[in-house]
Amino acid sequence: AVATAIADGDLTRKITVEAAGEILQIKDVINSMVDRLSVFADEVTRVAREVGTEGKLGGQAEVPGAAGTWRALTDNVNAMANSLTAQVRAIKDVAIAVTTGDLTRSITVDARGELDELKRNINQMISNLKETTERNEEQDWLKTNLAKFSRMMQGQKDLESISRLIMSELTPLVGAHHGAFFLGEEESGLLLKLIASYAYKARKSVANRFRPGEGLVGQAALEKKPILLTGVPDDYIHISSGLGEAPPRNIMVMPVLFEGEVKAVIELASFTPFSQIHQVFLDQLAESVGVVINMIAANMRTEELLEQSQNLTQELQSQSKELQQQQEELRRTNAELEAQARTLKASEEALRDQQEELQQVNEELEEKASLLAEQNRKVEQKNAEVEAARHELEEKAEQLALSSKYKSEFLANMSHELRTPLNSLLILAKLLTDNKDGNLTEKQVEYSQTILSSGTDLLNLINDVLDVSKVEAGKMEINAGDVYLKDVASYVDRSFRPLAEQKGLEFKINVDADVPETIWTDGQRLQQVVKNLLSNSFKFTRDGNVSLTVRKADKGRRFNNPVLDAADEVVAFAVSDTGIGIPKEKQRLIFEAFQQADGTTSRKYGGTGLGLTISRELARLLGGEIRVESAEGEGSTFTLFLPRELPGDHGTTGGDDDAGGQARGGRGPSPVSSTPSPAPARRRPRGGQRPAAERAAEPAADPQGEERRRRPRDPESVGIHDDRSEVEPGDRVVLIIENDPAFAKILLEMAREKGFKGLVGLDGETGIDLVREFQPDAVTLDIDLPGIDGWTVLDRLKHAPETRHIPVHIVSGVGKRQRGLRQGALSYLEKPVSKDALDSAFERISTFLADGVKRLLVVEDDETQRKSIIELVGEDDVEITAVANAEDALRELSEKHYDCMVLDLGLQGMDGFKLLEQVKGSEAVQDLPIIIYTGKELSQQEETQLRRYAETIIVKDAKSPERLLDETALFLHRIEAKLPDQKRRMLERLHSNDSVFAGKKVMIVDDDVRNIFSLTSVLESQGMNVVFAENGKDALVRLKENADVDIVLMDVMMPEMDGYETTRAIRELEGFQELPIISLTAKAMKGDREKSIAAGASDYITKPVDTDQLLSLMRVWLYR
């Protein structure tokens, strides 16, 4: 009982029964163990509480007397707390420094994983602030120097002096070392003359005056815009000094304009390129110079006119003498006028009195104006106070938004950080669950399945946290399309009917007759909300019933969401139950994150409280809302209201793409895929097309699930209506996997013309799903696909027993014909492809399907070997022709059609090499798959020569019959399930250790020993030899010691030397330029894939690692 209590986590129980001898010793040991476990649990709980809840950093767990594993666990907890303390305090110090304006600081503390990403993001933020400061300094430089030249040019009156002043100041200011100033003059048209220069040296061959269009100076004047020359030839011009001379590399020719007229041209030469700020400065300065030149020219013209005026004045003085005589006569006249002036003086006195009165009135008006000005000043002061308050509110709003953003980013980063240990846990649990060695008991396998299930639940919890953080960060994306409501109901019925039967609940689904057949919304998000609501109902309902009703909402109903009020038609999804109900005061609380109606530690029901939060936000993004009606003890009804058509502006929450595929990781099961189950027989899905809700709800098989969902998986979204809803048993079906919608339409129409039903998949993952669902008769495959490429699709199809027999025809712009045929493709057409070639391809498909028996040609000079090959491969579905020499083989190929040829090299007469060259040189049979089956020891040169022509080389040994059977089954497209039991077992033994991996050496570069251990277990089970390195520097050393490494798995985030830097260093090593390197990371941020490829990686995959996807990706690169 005490041992059971300990296993259940109860550390309060001890053995109290009386005992003696060894039983007493056992009792003491167990009681001591309980005490030690209790102390350890208390200490770990205290440290976790201080760090996680109370925010106290630096706490340490102290377990007196701990030793062995307990000492190691205690040390690990303390090390974790110390590491977190150091990293958080380092980030805090730098953050404080930045807030005080110190932009020289950066975070230098060692970090890994997501904290390292956070550290680099903060350092990047500081760098961006520094760049902004530098740009401001550039603008300050620009405005300061423009103002300086404006002051300098003020008061200048001579064009030559201001030209020299401009050249002496401007040339060094913009980093030039040579300059010339050409002033425009009007002499029967514009003529530009050299008037000032800087370090100019006159040459006979170079003119110093230009008309518009003559030379670069004249061309700049003609076009009225600057001309910039870079990479100037060495013999163009030289800048000389007392010590030497050198040619400039950059020349700027800039016209000076005033009101659209050319006033001058400035030419500058420099050894270094003119910066952007220098060019902007020159453009703005040219305008000021144009104004000044025009003003000086106008002043000079005015002075000329003044001089003319003075000359005229002298002439007038001579004339004035003559006038003096006339003035004497006038003086007499003036005497008479004085009498009249006295009369006027009396009138002036009267006017003076009137002016005094007016002055008094003016003073009164000035006083009133002063009072008005004071009132205006007070109003302006009030306005300034209001503006300051508004600015303060804006700053607080920005701080609140920034705080929310940091919180969401922290949740996302911490969630990703959990993926690294999950990667090891899920991979190892999957290996134990598979129990390939058969050495685990059923109970141990059950334990392993529990671990795998718990890890999957934890991954789903992380995905919930990511959904919340994406919604809060405004980066949840919505992809709308037609969703069939009956399909939604059908999917819900299949998903929850077993659960209802298990709990003994009545489960009803009602779809009113008047609801529309389809609505325009995001099918996956709709399914997620309905699934969350139904899951809650089943969880909180012990007896009674749960129901889903789909109906039209009442016309006069008012909603909180204006999209619903504006919608022409609203559809309601009502989920009702007879469960425990929700008190009125807690009905608003349940929609908040991490909240439940019963949030106590003793609560009866589990869960995180995120489901309704996510559902509420998803409903809002879909243009709808959720309302609840409930009473405690009487059950609840949650109703989702959605518009029939989601408006176009609700397609996404906005914001740029988030941190790549991983941050958009779709909700789904464990990324460690189980062995694919046998594909279902071809069927026509209920209701025609495969249910939209089911398609949307399918979990992603890899961490880039959201990225896959964003691709155009549904061909109808791009106007392609294929035949998936019309496929019947017995139909001939062609699957078209093509990235280009236009070309996919052409192939679909041609397939229909040839009597086929056509299916279309616009990306690799969709194509694989369609193959497994419909089991088509043939596949056309593009290589350049979004997500997984065509090579990976082909590899997966040809390594799955239920799909490897399906003929694949590659139609792609990637010119790798031999590789495609070697991987099992039936034919290879390279784009652009003619209609005749496509017609031939479809005719070949028809012929292939019509001819149920496949033909194999065996070329072997040894009769015993011929018979053994016939006995090994031969069955009713294969017709074998065996010949002993190359001449007979060529005759057979010219007379009959064969689907594959097995060739021995050691033939009498013409040997196998020459036969190969002739066969591959013939257009009629150049696509014929050829398997080399020989006992000859091949040299490196011979093997290289054979690889050019043959699809497979098999050297005869103990396992060669299994390989020959496997390769012929691949190229003859035989259905493995129809082979005899003995031959099927031979293939199963061969595939249990994939021959592609057998004996290959792989290097794992990862700083987490847990990942190394888990990946090593997977790869060694495939027959691979594993070497590992725990950091980038160690990897370079180990790689030099193991030059025969065939492939490298490279973690991105590592201390000292990250994956990018390590990959670049490997590519610089001689002999490793073509070594396949696959990047692995627990955090797929946007652009990480491009960074990996740019650094030299061959491919990219995210953690937690899907082992089937990893093996498929490795197989593709090991084939090359």
pLDDT tens digit sequence for 601-610: 334 454 555 6
Asked which of 36-40, 91-95, 620-624 is least confident by mean pLDDT, the reply is 36-40
179 lies in the same domain as 142: no
User: Binning pLDDT at 50, 70 and 90, where does residue 1063 land?
Assistant: very high
165 lies in the same domain as 105: no
User: Sign of the CA dihedral 888, 890, 893, 894?
Assistant: negative
User: Sign of the CA dihedral 352, 354, 357, 359?
Assistant: negative
Task: Answer yes or no: is pLDDT of 1088 > 60.
Answer: yes
Q: What is the pLDDT of residue 916?
A: 83
SS3 of 873, please? helix
Task: Answer yes or no: is pLDDT of 412 > 60.
Answer: no
Q: How far apart are CA 777 and CA 794, in angstroms?
A: 15
**In this structure, are residues 270 and 249 in contact, taking their beta carbons and an 8 Å threshold?**
yes
Task: Answer yes or no: is pLDDT of 1065 > 50.
Answer: yes
pLDDT tens digit sequence for 423-458: 667 767 777 887 777 888 888 888 788 887 777 777
| Contact partners, residue 957, CB within 8 Å, separation at least 6 | none
- In the predicted model, what is the mean pLDDT of residues 873-879? 83
Q: What is the pLDDT of residue 852?
A: 73
CA distances from 649 to 529, 615, 653 (A): 21, 20, 9
Q: Which of 807, 830, 849 is the last residue of a domain?
A: 849
859 lies in the same domain as 961: yes
Does residue 280 form part of some domain? no
pLDDT tens digit sequence for 899-924: 889 988 878 888 888 888 888 777 77
The CATH number given to whatever domain includes residue 196 is 3.30.450.40
pLDDT tens digit sequence for 1091-1119: 888 899 988 887 777 787 788 788 878 86
Does residue 614 form part of some domain? yes
Most confident of the following: 316-330, 554-568, 663-677: 554-568
- In the predicted model, what is the mean pLDDT of residues 1040-1056? 89
Does residue 1036 form part of some domain? yes
Tell me the H-state helices in 476-598.
485-503, 523-539, 562-566
User: Binning pLDDT at 50, 70 and 90, where does residue 663 land?
Assistant: very low
Task: Answer yes or no: is pLDDT of 1001 > 90.
Answer: yes
pLDDT tens digit sequence for 761-784: 998 888 998 998 899 999 999 988
Task: Answer yes or no: is pLDDT of 376 > 60.
Answer: yes
Q: What is the pLDDT of residue 26?
A: 80
Q: How far apart are CA 929 and CA 949, in angstroms?
A: 9
Does residue 396 form part of some domain? no
Q: What is the pLDDT of residue 705?
A: 42
**In this structure, are residues 184 and 264 in contact, taking their beta carbons and an 8 Å threshold?**
yes
The CATH number given to whatever domain includes residue 25 is 1.20.120
Task: Answer yes or no: is pLDDT of 284 > 80.
Answer: yes
User: Binning pLDDT at 50, 70 and 90, where does residue 1016 land?
Assistant: confident
- In the predicted model, what is the mean pLDDT of residues 453-482? 70
Q: Nearest Cα to 738, choosing from 691, 808, 806, 802?
A: 808
Q: What is the pLDDT of residue 370?
A: 82
The CATH number given to whatever domain includes residue 769 is 3.40.50.2300
142 lies in the same domain as 185: no
pLDDT tens digit sequence for 714-748: 787 778 889 988 888 889 999 999 988 888 988 99
Q: Which of 812, 828, 849 is the last residue of a domain?
A: 849
Does residue 988 form part of some domain? no
Task: Answer yes or no: is pLDDT of 1045 > 90.
Answer: yes
Q: What is the pLDDT of residue 977?
A: 65
52 lies in the same domain as 135: yes
Phi–psi pair at 575, nearest 5 degrees: -110, 115
489 lies in the same domain as 637: yes
495 lies in the same domain as 613: yes
Q: What is the pLDDT of residue 702?
A: 40
Burial string for 958-996 (b: 16+ CB within 10 Å, else e) reads: eeebbbbbbbbbbbbbbebeebeeebeebbeebeeebbb
Most confident of the following: 606-610, 802-806, 946-950, 1025-1029: 1025-1029
CA distances from 572 to 452, 497, 564, 646, 649 (A): 38, 21, 11, 14, 22
| Contact partners, residue 333, CB within 8 Å, separation at least 6 | none
1037 lies in the same domain as 1056: yes
User: Binning pLDDT at 50, 70 and 90, where does residue 759 land?
Assistant: very high
pLDDT tens digit sequence for 499-550: 899 889 999 999 999 999 999 998 888 988 999 899 889 988 989 999 999 9
Q: Residue 353: in which H helix or E strand, if any? A: helix 276-417
Task: Name the one residue in this structure whose structure tokens are 């005015």.
Answer: 302
Q: How far apart are CA 736 and CA 724, in angstroms?
A: 12
Q: Which residue has the higher pLDDT, 291 or 324?
A: 291
Task: Answer yes or no: is pLDDT of 80 > 60.
Answer: yes
Q: Residue 932: in which H helix or E strand, if any? A: strand 930-934
| Average pLDDT, rounded, for the chain | 79
Q: How far apart are CA 673 and CA 1108, in angstroms?
A: 6
Asked which of 127-131, 136-140, 614-618, 707-711 is least confident by mean pLDDT, the reply is 707-711
Q: Residue 252: in which H helix or E strand, if any? A: strand 250-258
Q: Which of 643, 669, 699 is the last residue of a domain?
A: 643
Give me 956's structure tokens.
């005869």
Q: Which residue has the higher pLDDT, 1020 or 404?
A: 1020
Say if residue 314 is exposed, middle or buried (CB neighbours under 10 Å; 0-12, 13-18, 19+): exposed
Q: How far apart are CA 620 and CA 603, in angstroms?
A: 30
- In the predicted model, what is the mean pLDDT of residues 790-794? 89
pLDDT tens digit sequence for 124-153: 888 888 788 778 877 888 888 888 888 888
User: Binning pLDDT at 50, 70 and 90, where does residue 703 land?
Assistant: very low
197 lies in the same domain as 97: no
Q: How far apart are CA 788 and CA 1100, in angstroms?
A: 10
149 lies in the same domain as 177: no
Q: What is the pLDDT of residue 530?
A: 92
- The DSSP letter of residue 63 is -
Name the percent of the chain lying above pLDDT 70: 82
Query: What residue numbers bound the domain in which 1095 lies?
Result: 996-1118
902 lies in the same domain as 1031: no
How far does Cα 323 stand from its chain's mean position? Answer: 97
Q: Write the single-letter amino acid at 867.
A: K
pLDDT tens digit sequence for 927-937: 788 888 877 77
Give me 516's structure tokens.
């529309």
Beta bridge partners of 1100: 1079
Give me 119's structure tokens.
């550290």
Beta bridge partners of 173: none
Task: Answer yes or no: is pLDDT of 1041 > 70.
Answer: yes
Give me 152's structure tokens.
């300098």
Beta bridge partners of 918: none
Task: Answer yes or no: is pLDDT of 369 > 90.
Answer: no
Q: What is the pLDDT of residue 599?
A: 44
145 lies in the same domain as 170: no
The percent of the chain in helix, strand and coil, each rounded to the nearest 5, is 50, 15, 35
Q: What predicted TM-score, i.e. pTM, was given to this entire model? A: 0.39
Does residue 433 form part of some domain? no
pLDDT tens digit sequence for 675-686: 333 333 333 333
CA distances from 1100 to 371, 1053, 1092 (A): 76, 13, 7
Does residue 448 form part of some domain? no
The angle at the Cα of 623, spanning 619 to 624, to the nearest 5 degrees, equals 50
The CATH number given to whatever domain includes residue 599 is 3.30.565.10
What's the number of domains the chain is made of? 6
| Contact partners, residue 621, CB within 8 Å, separation at least 6 | 471, 476, 478, 522, 525, 650, 653
Q: Nearest Cα to 952, choosing from 918, 916, 925, 985?
A: 916
Does residue 670 form part of some domain? no
